[in-house]
Chain A
């Protein structure tokens, strides 16, 4: 507990200038105060928040991607990897900080370790599922036409897993943006910092609302950007959705289809 109080200590409130009124009145939102503190508080906080998130999702994706390729290649590895990442996912963030601080201190590293471990499960699951959902007949055709294992992975499996991978990235990114506010327990960074500041000042609503709204906006924009990026990387997926047959029908038919080996001999 002492740790947490200490952590919120360095947050230095900025009572300044003409907008003191805002702090005194404490209305729901005071635009003046917000614009006055954009340069000193919110702007830097948004940038820090983006950096915290980008590092966490970037490293998390790299690790999850490598693990997913391993699990895809060696089936037996999927269960232990999924087990460990599920376990990490279930540790409450505050508890994880407490565990990490003695080793890594009140640093950004502590925050990133925690954030990365929360992205692993989502990303790993989605990448593996995406790879495994490549239709068997597509892979069979690729092999039959003379693609090597490596070419099948690079030219068939991974491109076809892109929609599933992006689905994972979107959830992981939005989750991390929301989770990164808690980082302010450890370091004075991100949109969590003004939220803590607002609480320590007796619930200063304007600061609180502004920081929360910015976090939500950030999550929303990040999600939109990822959707746009997916459209660029996998334009075919959008075409598939708009094809004559609704996806639910396609899925129903696929579900009923027996495995290739069973169909072939009938």
Chain B
């Protein structure tokens, strides 16, 4: 009975929802001979299409938890449900072909071309040649690699490109769930940030359910729709959105793990576009009237309303300093304000015209609320 079910599913991956809901139900892992369990009664649910980051120190069992989903590690107790169906009764090899798998060391097959690497799972699923070939082209384009990369061997491309190919290979059969074990861990910081942004952009379009393992809380905050913070001994301490975890750590352990600068990290989650801006006193030519109440609000603009200068505290005009735009994070905005004598930051819109001023106390007010990304709205009222 089981097998019939299995074949029906594995032969037509596209009949799946493009993303699956994942649920851990009282999952425990105990290795024979170990006196303590590696995972203790883990329960949480990842809604379809969201990135769930498992994060925690070494030995917290985050990788173990991830590897139990595709049965690379067996479940001792409890169950893991994929779209409501248990993974326990599935044939491991068939189950794994429906789940994308990316690891830190990538593990590209060095004897196969990039194209053949990407085609691995479609071939296992028995797709016909044409469909595989078209899919490979599509994926190469998706990860913005030139088409001729297809015939290269992994050793012939850069580390960043290899990592992209690893992601493409995992996406090849359009799996409803992706498992990613520190996928950007072994890469230099600049390339890592690039790849993180690229993956987030991909995810915007693909909306896969993703389980993402990392030990880096900053990466967790950046990548996760939800974060599961785990502690040594395989205990889940808090499962929540990044903003709620930063605003309201469940206990001392979480507070320490997210760091004393959690307020700043929270600010990094919001952008100036979330904030209510003060109006600036735009002055097109000449000098503003003397005796104006607040020189900080004065901005000299050109014909297109673009900022060209400000009024100094000494009421002398000075050239414009750094400006923010709607995509500037509140954290960066705060930094700019503080390095500019706490004067409000001039914010421009997409066309470069003055949109308003971001005040220090309004940014600070964004932190006061526990309501996550809506916080700035409250500060407004």
Chain A residues packing against B (C-beta within 8 Å): 135, 137-148, 151, 156, 159-160, 162, 234, 236-237, 239-240, 243, 260, 263-266
> Which of B44-52, B93-101, B262-270, B332-340 is the interface stretch?
B93-101
Q: Given that A138-B107, A141-B108, A240-B153 are known contacts, is A146 also in contact with B58, CB under 8 Å in the complex?
A: no
Interface of A is mostly: helix
Contact pick for B72, options A138, A143, A243, CB 8 Å: A143
Using Cβ atoms and an 8 Å threshold, which residues of chain A touch B96?
Answer: 143-146
Q: Is the CB of B103 within 8 A of A236?
A: no
Using Cβ atoms and an 8 Å threshold, which residues of chain A touch B93?
Answer: 146-148
Q: Is the CB of B153 within 8 A of A141?
A: no
Interface of B is mostly: mixed
Q: Is the CB of A145 within 8 A of B120?
A: yes
5 extra interface residue pairs, beta carbon distance < 8 Å, beyond A146-B93, A240-B153, A265-B215: A141-B108, A145-B121, A147-B124, A148-B93, A240-B155
In angstroms, Cα B110 to Cα A243, docked, is 12
Complex A-B: 12 CB contacts under 8 Å: A138-B108, A141-B101, A141-B106, A141-B108, A144-B103, A145-B97, A145-B101, A145-B121, A146-B92, A160-B110, A237-B111, A239-B153
Contact pick for A260, options B97, B105, B109, CB 8 Å: B105
Q: Is the CB of B110 within 8 A of A140?
A: no
A-B complex: 10 closest residue pairs judged by Cβ atoms: A141-B107, A137-B105, A146-B97, A144-B101, A146-B96, A137-B107, A243-B155, A265-B58, A240-B155, A236-B111
Using Cβ atoms and an 8 Å threshold, which residues of chain B touch A151?
Answer: 124
Using Cβ atoms and an 8 Å threshold, which residues of chain B touch A240?
Answer: 110, 153, 155
Q: Given that A147-B124, A239-B155, A265-B58 are known contacts, is A142 also in contact with B110, CB under 8 Å in the complex?
A: no
In angstroms, Cα B215 to Cα A265, docked, is 8
Q: Is the CB of A146 within 8 A of B124?
A: yes
Contact pick for B121, options A138, A146, A266, CB 8 Å: A146
Using Cβ atoms and an 8 Å threshold, which residues of chain A touch B108?
Answer: 138, 141
Q: Is the CB of A264 within 8 A of B63?
A: yes
Whether, in the assembled complex, B219 has its beta carbon less than 8 Å from a beta carbon of chain A, the answer is no
In angstroms, Cα B107 to Cα A144, docked, is 10
Using Cβ atoms and an 8 Å threshold, which residues of chain B touch A143?
Answer: 72, 96
Q: Is the CB of B109 within 8 A of A265?
A: no
Q: Given that A234-B111, A243-B156 are known contacts, is A137 also in contact with B106, CB under 8 Å in the complex?
A: yes
Contact pick for B181, options A234, A237, A264, CB 8 Å: A264
In angstroms, Cα B169 to Cα A129, docked, is 28
In angstroms, Cα B179 to Cα A143, docked, is 13
Closest chain A residue to B152 by CB distance? A239
Q: Given that A147-B124, A240-B155, A266-B58 are known contacts, is A142 also in contact with B107, CB under 8 Å in the complex?
A: yes
Closest Cβ–Cβ distance, residue B37 to chain A (whole Å): 16
Q: Is the CB of B70 within 8 A of A144?
A: yes
Using Cβ atoms and an 8 Å threshold, which residues of chain A touch B109?
Answer: 138, 141-142, 156, 160
Closest chain B residue to A139 by CB distance? B107
Closest Cβ–Cβ distance, residue B158 to chain A (whole Å): 9
Most buried by B among A141, A147, A160: A141
Q: Is the CB of A263 within 8 A of B104?
A: yes
Q: Given that A147-B124, A265-B59 are known contacts, is A140 also in contact with B104, CB under 8 Å in the complex?
A: no
Whether, in the assembled complex, B174 has its beta carbon less than 8 Å from a beta carbon of chain A, the answer is no
Write out, one digit per residue, whether chain B residues 113-151 have a CB within 8 A of any chain A CB (1) or not (0). Answer: 000000011001000000000000000000000000000
In angstroms, Cα B101 to Cα A110, docked, is 54
Using Cβ atoms and an 8 Å threshold, which residues of chain B touch A147?
Answer: 93, 120, 124
Contact pick for B110, options A138, A144, A146, A148, CB 8 Å: A138
Q: Is the CB of B153 within 8 A of A236?
A: yes
Q: Is the CB of B111 within 8 A of A160?
A: yes
Closest Cβ–Cβ distance, residue B270 to chain A (whole Å): 31
